[in-house]
Structure 1
Amino acid sequence: MAQPDEPHAPVVPSCPLPSKICDVVRSERPRSCCGMAMAGFRTAKYQLPEWHRRNAGVCYQAFLAGEQAERGRAEAKSLVKHAAASAQRAQEYSKATLGQRLQDVHFWRMELQKEIMELDAETNLLAAQKLRLERALDATEVPYAVVVDNLECRERRQPPDLAADEVERQLMKEADLIRDIRDLLKRTIIQAATQIRSNRIQKENCELDWSDKVETYHIDDKCVGYCSDSTNVQFHPSSVKFEENASTPKSWAQFSHDNISRAEQEKLASVQLRSLINSIIHDASEDLRMQRAAVSEAFDTHCRELDGAKLRLEQHLQQILKDIGDEEANIVNLKKAIRDKEAYLKVAHTRLYDRSFRPNVELCRDEPQFRLVNEVEELTVFLEALKRKLMESEQNLKNLEETRMKLEKEIAVKANSIFIDREKCMGNRVRYPVDLEVASYKQ
């Protein structure tokens, strides 16, 4: 930078300088030497000393004015250089400050952008888990309908098979388990929806902050590009003030930090909820699988018991049918025996009747008469025994027929129970989902 020129030495005027400019006294008039005739020529004229003094004063004033102007020019030139240097330094410092500010804004902008992307990805993952919950909830409708249908079908069993057996107990337990799982899934779906809403609200807050940071970055970046030669700069005197609602650097950074912190908290809560959803679906699937196996085992055991009971009843029925045939043959034999004995009795009665007509002394109690009477008595005893036995056999046949009817009814009841449990209930349970956890992934 050029050094300011040294001030020139003062130039001494050639005319003598009066001690004071005000020494010229205008009130003194030149004295008249020619009398009254020359008065008109003398009144407006100065004396020669006055003229010299006045010239000297004018020169001195010119000298002082020039010297003062020269000092002013030197000071102005120095001030211009100092102002230019100061303005350049101030502009460079402001530019550096704006550059640092751009780095700060860029840092928080990138942090917010990263948080927004992570929170959006986490929200999408949680939404997928919520969809899994909804699919799992839909998948429980079929098992619940199957269980209810099983219970309703088993109500159509006939006594005495209409009993509160192990199968019914396991079915009731399964129905209660499915209801509890459905309630848990519904509550978890509501919790997931609430968390998704919280994630999106916090994501929106971060997006608003990020948008402000982007706009601020563009503004400050444009400000960094301004210089003295820019054509789009102008005076804005009203902007040279602090806004009342302006933040401080500390509160500005704290605002973004709080947004990121809250986003991290929501993201952590979302991650924990996703883990909980995985556990809920897995545990519910395992519980349903184990209960389904318990119900199937109870059905298998009960059907085997029914098959065994039905087989034993059928064996008894076969024996009863054989006994009925034997008893019917026995009754036929007894009736034939009674008819045969009655024929013998008729012969004995006829002999006794005819011998009762023997005349006079010929009506004798001889040995044939005693034999015929004994024969009648023996035949009467046998006939009474045979008739009693016939009545007993007929009662036995009636009892056997009643037993046959009971056995056939019991067999029909067992067959009905087997049909309900094996064909209706177990056949309907084929629609039961294999795995609730797998069903939650299906489209």
Structure 2
Amino acid sequence: MEFLGTTQLASYCGTRRSCLFPDPAPTSTTKDTYQSYYLPGYRCLSSWRPSLLYKVVSVPPSCGRQFNPPGRPPTILPELRSSLHARYSTRDWHHANMVQLKGSEVSRDCAGRLNADSMRLMQDKDQLTYQMQEDSRRNLGQRISNIDFWRSELIYELECLLKDTQALETTKKRLERAADEMQGPLKIALECLYHREKRKGIDLVHDDVEKNLIKEVDVFKDCQEILAKLAQKINQQLSINRDAQHALEQDLSDKNSAHFIDEKCFNLRNTSDSINFYHGVEKADGTVSVPATWAKFSEDNIRCSQHARANSAKLRDDAEVGLESTSQEMWNHFISTNLAFNNRIAEVADAKNKLQAQLAKILQEIFQTEDTIMLLQRSIQAKEYPLKVAQTRLEGRTKRPNIELCRDAPQFQLVTEVYTIDDTLQTLKQRLQEAYDTLQMLNLNKSKLEHEISVKANSFFIDKRCMDMRRVFPSTPRLIGYT
């Protein structure tokens, strides 16, 4: 039978001593040891003396016999036995036997009671030790169950946190891709503004196209700023998630270590090989928590992780709403700008067509004016000869002699004819000058029309080029960062 609290190894090391079985009394028969361990009911035999006194017989040294020390009965020699009296009486002998029997009975009763008490004590202590060991084992089992519960909670929370963190990182990548996708339309809008600065003259107008382009650039920049702020918030939340993840992983690692240690302690038996004495270990208290604070620590870690996951979910929703709203707003402004471009291109084309039609009319008028000038010049040249004839006639008639210089009807007619032809020439020359002025005005208008047509053609070319650049716009999945 093996006693609780001892090990197989300890039983092999030497004589086992137990508090239940003290060392036996020494069996020496010397005076000191014998008297220090006499049983109850015994008298000290050293104080007992027989009732018959004896005389010490002195034997001279010459007889060759040995002297006894004082206080000790003399040695009885065979040759002297017949001459000595008996040392004890029968009564003393019976009394000594009775005393011896009573003492033995008392010692036997004491030993019996001691053995019975010792058996009961051993049974009680064995039961107590077994019960304490079972209680400790049950407490260890309960502790392992508690650790398993919190381990499962931590593992579940850690998995959820890792999923939310991964989803948040995916959302961050979507925001970054969406911000990168906005660079293309923003660059195109800026290039359109740059190319439209190359318009000339009156076509450098602050029209709806330019207003929409400026607003589109501002919208793109605002959308990029919104996405950048969301990405920054996600970075901060990812840092918080990593801290919560580290706390959960550290707590889970500690729980795993504690579970391994407690399970190892739970599986220890009295026959295990790894048990040993560690004196004073029960006096050292290195604990840093109690069950309430121990459970609260894991609960706080899980609550912190849940709070981080809630914030992550809110950020993901905000990012989703931000991506959809920005993509929709960008698309609306892109469509609005394209409509303004189409309207402007139509207006420029219409103005250009009208100018070209007007230029054709101007060219026709110039042609007709040039014909009129040519006819006027011919008419003026045609009037020179009649004027010469009339003036020649008048000059010839001035040579009439004396009284023949009469202001007669031919004279009046010739004078009237000269004045009339001269007035006609002046009128025709004035009209010819007017025709020249009109022709010059028409040529000037022609130049202006041609310049305006070139300006309109340049503006039309620029807007058409801008529209060619704006034919492609990122799709909605690209704007919200899916591709």
Q: Same fold (TM over 0.5)?
A: yes
Structure 2 counterparts to residues 343-354 of structure 1, below 5 A: 343-354=385-396
Q: Deviations over 1:92-131 (max 9, x none)?
A: 2222221111111101000000000000000000000000
Structure 2 counterparts to residues 176-255 of structure 1, below 5 A: 176-241=218-283, 243-255=285-297
Provide the rounded CA distance (Å) in 2 between the counterparts of 1:277 and 1:34: 127
Find out whether 1:101 has 2:143 as its counterpart. yes
In structure 2, the partner of 1:3 is none
Find out whether 1:77 has 2:119 as its counterpart. yes
Select 2:323's aligned residue among 275, 281, 292: 281
Q: Call closer, same or farther: CA 1:346–1:237 in 2, change over 3 Å.
A: same
Provide the rounded CA distance (Å) in 2 between the counterparts of 1:419 and 1:36: 166
Asked if structure 1 preserves the Cα contact closer than 8 Å seen for 2:150 and 2:298, the reply is: yes
Find out whether 1:441 has 2:463 as its counterpart. no
* TM-score after normalising by structure 1: 0.89
In structure 2, the partner of 1:15 is none
Paired residue secondary structure (2:201): coil
Provide the rounded CA distance (Å) in 2 between the counterparts of 1:80 and 1:255: 44
Provide the rounded CA distance (Å) in 1 between the counterparts of 2:460 and 2:100: 144
Find out whether 1:87 has 2:87 as its counterpart. no
Paired residue secondary structure (2:160): helix
Provide the rounded CA distance (Å) in 2 between the counterparts of 1:228 and 1:402: 123
Q: Deviations over 1:168-196 (max 9, x none)?
A: 11111111111111111111111001101
Q: Call closer, same or farther: CA 1:31–1:128 in 2, change over 3 Å.
A: closer
Find out whether 1:326 has 2:326 as its counterpart. no
In structure 1, the partner of 2:471 is 430
Find out whether 1:384 has 2:384 as its counterpart. no
Select 1:47's aligned residue among 88, 96, 100: 88
Find out whether 1:64 has 2:106 as its counterpart. yes
Select 1:30's aligned residue among 42, 46, 52: 52
Paired residue secondary structure (1:187): helix
Paired residue secondary structure (1:349): helix
Q: Larger % of helix: which?
A: 1
Asked if structure 1 preserves the Cα contact closer than 8 Å seen for 2:50 and 2:88, the reply is: no
Q: Deviations over 1:321-343 (max 9, x none)?
A: 00000000000000000000012
Provide the rounded CA distance (Å) in 2 between the counterparts of 1:228 and 1:23: 50
In structure 2, the partner of 1:11 is none
Dislocated runs of 4+, deviation >6 Å: 33-37, 42-45
- Aligned-pair CA distance for 1:67: 2.6
Asked if structure 2 preserves the Cα contact closer than 8 Å seen for 1:344 and 1:379, the reply is: yes
In structure 1, the partner of 2:35 is none
Deviates more, 1:225-234 or 1:387-396: 225-234
Structure 2 counterparts to residues 238-317 of structure 1, below 5 A: 238-241=280-283, 243-317=285-359
In structure 1, the partner of 2:450 is 408
Provide the rounded CA distance (Å) in 2 between the counterparts of 1:379 and 1:253: 130
Provide the rounded CA distance (Å) in 2 between the counterparts of 1:343 and 1:245: 141
Q: Deviations over 1:281-327 (max 9, x none)?
A: 00000110111111111111111111111111111111110000000
* TM-score after normalising by structure 2: 0.82
- Aligned-pair CA distance for 1:91: 1.8
Q: Call closer, same or farther: CA 1:43–1:261 in 2, change over 3 Å.
A: farther
- Aligned-pair CA distance for 1:377: 1.4
In structure 2, the partner of 1:170 is 212
Q: Which amino acid aligns with 1:264?
A: Q
Paired residue secondary structure (2:202): coil
- Aligned-pair CA distance for 1:431: 4.3
In structure 2, the partner of 1:358 is 400
Count of residue pairs brought into register by the alignment: 423
Q: CA RMSD in A?
A: 2.6
Provide the rounded CA distance (Å) in 1 between the counterparts of 2:359 and 2:446: 6
**Unpaired stretches in structure 1, ≥5 consecutive residues:** 1-18
Provide the rounded CA distance (Å) in 1 between the counterparts of 2:56 and 2:300: 108
- Aligned-pair CA distance for 1:238: 2.7
Provide the rounded CA distance (Å) in 1 between the counterparts of 2:141 and 2:97: 64
- Aligned-pair CA distance for 1:255: 0.9
Q: Deviations over 1:325-363 (max 9, x none)?
A: 000000000000000001211122222223333344444
Q: Which amino acid aligns with 1:285?
A: S
